[in-house]
Structure 1
Amino acid sequence: MRLVVGVSGGSGIPYALNVLQALQQLDVQTELVVSSGAKRVMAAESGPQLADLTALAAHVHDDRDLGASISSGSYRTDGMLVVPCSAGTLARIAGGFADNLLSRAAHVTLKERRRLVLALREDPLPRPMLENMLRAHDAGATVMSASPGFYHAPQSIEELLHFVTVRLLDQFGLDVPGFRRWDGA
């Protein structure tokens, strides 16, 4: 399996790191593209840095390279995940604006009818963002919030991150080992 992983400028880079770690464990080939906004967030937050993410990817693409392999529908992938997905990236995807490689790859994913999952990490949700979520959904994307559950009695931040990762990768039919799923009360 080959997935494109886009990392945009919303706070929540630890989610991206956790997803990339799980994909590596599952032996999924990843095509990584990190937006300039994400790089700014990494510099401001004390979490994972660019080198942490790129070390886990099979291929790393420059967000300014609109001629990269993932910008073409003839380059086969099994879909794309944007984690975290900022409000600006959501707006670009919902509006069909392909002004950087991340939004171009998302556009290609939609036009080829491949699975696109957007993991939003921003609150509160103003009306334009809600409308963009609906537009992205109607275009074929799966819109999810990076919101962990608590029914599995998490004991650490890592377990909270892992919960979101499992839910995101469920969308691609991937079963992340080591997660206790809900099996009834």
Structure 2
Amino acid sequence: MTAFKQELENWRPRSSAIKTLLQRWRDDDRAEDIWRKVAKAAGANLTPSEFIHLVARTAMAARALPARIKRQKLETAATRAGLGAQIFEAFASDKSNLELAEILEEAAWQLRFREQFTMLDNYPQGARSRSQTSQSRRAFSLALSDFFKERCNKWMDNEAGVLLEIAFGPQGDDISQEVRDYRRRRQKVGD
């Protein structure tokens, strides 16, 4: 057994989802090849343990994205409803224009605060999509692409695609193309 496979075997996470991911990774014939390519590109500063933990954390965060987006929408709707009621009451009252302005400024501050400090800040730019079925895949793919570009100085679409398939299952014929498409769409939106 190689050092990388041994590291996969030795990690004992509490999460059943991570255990399942690690088992799929151990069982995949491409796992060692992916690690060798990533380790070579990243150099000596990337350990098997660090890489495994990164992929597992990224997969779990990506799986949580649709629920976090839903929660953010519900919280935002509740904030808007509460602020709407306060604003309506203020306008229906005998408050002066200055008092109304203060109420509106406070409402604007609350909306800006909610937007600025969402639980979505740690996701890569472009991870959110209209399609809930692809949000997790997209977030995982973009996060790995960003990691590879930063640590390895190249995108490594094939490797990201294999890890995407291990983490979320196959989808379509060309998993590397799926990774490239997510990244290119993000670049088009960002330009």
Same fold (TM over 0.5): no
Which structure: larger Rg?
2
- Give the number of the structure whose residues are more often strand, by fraction: 1
TM-score where L is the length of structure 1: 0.30
Structure richer in helix, relative to its length? 2
Q: TM-score, normalised by structure 2?
A: 0.30
